Amino acid sequence: MLKYHRIGLLLVALLAVFAFAAVACGDDDDNAKTTPTAAAAATTAPAASPTARATAFPADSTMAKIAAKGSLIVGVKFDQPGFGLLDPKTSKPDGFDVQIAKEIGKALGLQESQVQFVESVSANRIPYLMTDKVDLVIATMTINADRKTQIDFSRPYYLAGQSILVKKENTTITKVDDLNGKKVCSVSGSTSETNIKTKAPTAQLLSLADYSSCVSSLKDGRVDAVSTDDIILAGFAAADPSLKLVGGQFTQEPYGIGVKKGKDDLVKFIDAQLDRMFKDGTWDNIYTTYLGKVEGLPKPADARAKLPATN
Ligand code: GLU
């Protein structure tokens, strides 16, 4: 009996020591506003219920429908440094376009995990929207008249221009004219492919599915150059010192967010969110995070000032 009493006392004493240690640890970090447990609970707190989220928008609006289904599905690139690149460690894409998508998801009342990404290469961006495989396409997509007959676009959120990527030792290609008679890689379904046909009509065009395949064929010597938007090429050049950009910008490529036709309310909502991001510094932060190290790029405020106000 005495033995059990002693064990009981020992247990009480041990519990008291643990309780004291826990309180002391909590006090240790003066800056912590919440205990570790409370902080963990805050980051994993469930999103508002689908009904609560949906009632934040007019009934029957596209936003209410997305909020009620509890997911925003976005087509992004998976192989383009800076804009949409799959992180092999997390198996999640990251980049400028991915962050814009997350901001829109947040504004719809969704948690980050409820914004889902689907790889979209240039040629399947419009088909994916038209067949409802995705809710939005945010994938370095140029707004142009031809595409506007098939889908709708938000206001421009980035202004790129087509350029040329060659091997560092190349001295024969310095401008778009020089692509005539040369082997040039671009991507099926892109404005870059169409622009090469008009601006360097005698170039031997190799059309592949994505830009990383074009860059591989440049490195292998199967083509002399890759041509697409400067900011995409700059991402590849930054990752590979054997490559360089030449030829400046020979087109204007204003990027817009693609939306299936018939969802005017969603386009207006996205435009308002982009305007908000331009004003409250969100866009500048995204620009600095993902493009800040690209040589020769303007400061965020100057890049923002160049954006056309409408499409
Ligand atoms: N911005 C151009 C386009 O939308 C080229 C980049 C791309 O293919 O993603 O076609």
pLDDT in tens, 157-184: 999 999 999 999 999 999 999 999 999 9
229 C-alpha to center of ligand 1: Å?
A: 7
Partners of 118 in beta bridges: 75
The fold adopted by the segment(s) 162-251 is D-Maltodextrin-Binding Protein; domain 2 (3.40.190)
142 C-alpha to center of ligand 1: Å?
A: 6
Pocket test for ligand 1, best of 138, 142, 148, 185 (most atoms within 8 A of CB): 142
The answer to whether residue 121 scores a pLDDT higher than 90 is yes
Q: What is the rounded distance in angstroms from the CA atom of residue 173 to the CA atom of residue 183? A: 11
The answer to whether residue 251 scores a pLDDT higher than 50 is yes
pLDDT digits (tens, 9 = 90+) for 198-215: 999 999 999 999 999 999
186 C-alpha to center of ligand 1: Å?
A: 10
Global confidence as pTM: 0.84
Residue 14's contacts (CB-CB under 8 Å, 6 or more residues apart) are none
CB atoms inside a 10 Å sphere around CB 279: 11
The answer to whether residue 88 scores a pLDDT higher than 50 is yes
What average pLDDT does this structure show over 232-254? Answer: 96
What average pLDDT does this structure show over 116-128? Answer: 98
159 CB near ligand 1 (under 6 Å): no
Structure tokens at 82: 């800076």
The answer to whether residue 21 scores a pLDDT higher than 70 is no
The angle that helices 282-291 and 264-280 make with each other, rounded to 10 degrees, is 80
Pocket test for ligand 1, best of 78, 122, 207 (most atoms within 8 A of CB): 122
Q: What is the rounded distance in angstroms from the CA atom of residue 18 to the CA atom of residue 76? A: 50
Structure tokens at 54: 């949906």
Highest-confidence range of 16-25, 45-54, 149-158, by mean pLDDT?
A: 149-158
Nearest CA to ligand 1 atom 6: 140
Give CATH 3.40.190.10 domain extents, the chain: 50-159+255-298, 162-251
Q: What is the rounded distance in angstroms from the CA atom of residue 64 to the CA atom of residue 213? A: 39
CB atoms inside a 10 Å sphere around CB 23: 10
pLDDT digits (tens, 9 = 90+) for 290-306: 999 888 899 999 999 99
97 CB near ligand 1 (under 6 Å): no
Residue 99's contacts (CB-CB under 8 Å, 6 or more residues apart) are 286, 289, 290
89 C-alpha to center of ligand 1: Å?
A: 27
Please indicate whether residue 8 or residue 142 has the higher confidence score (pLDDT). 142
- ∠ CA 41-43-48 to the nearest 5 degrees? 90
What average pLDDT does this structure show over 102-122? Answer: 97
| Architecture of the domain defined by 50-159+255-298 | 3-Layer(aba) Sandwich (3.40)
Please indicate whether residue 24 or residue 234 has the higher confidence score (pLDDT). 234
Residue 54 is predicted with a pLDDT of 66
Cβ atoms of residues 191 and 198 within 8 Å: no
The answer to whether residue 240 scores a pLDDT higher than 50 is yes
Nearest CA to ligand 1 atom 10: 190
Residue 53 is predicted with a pLDDT of 73
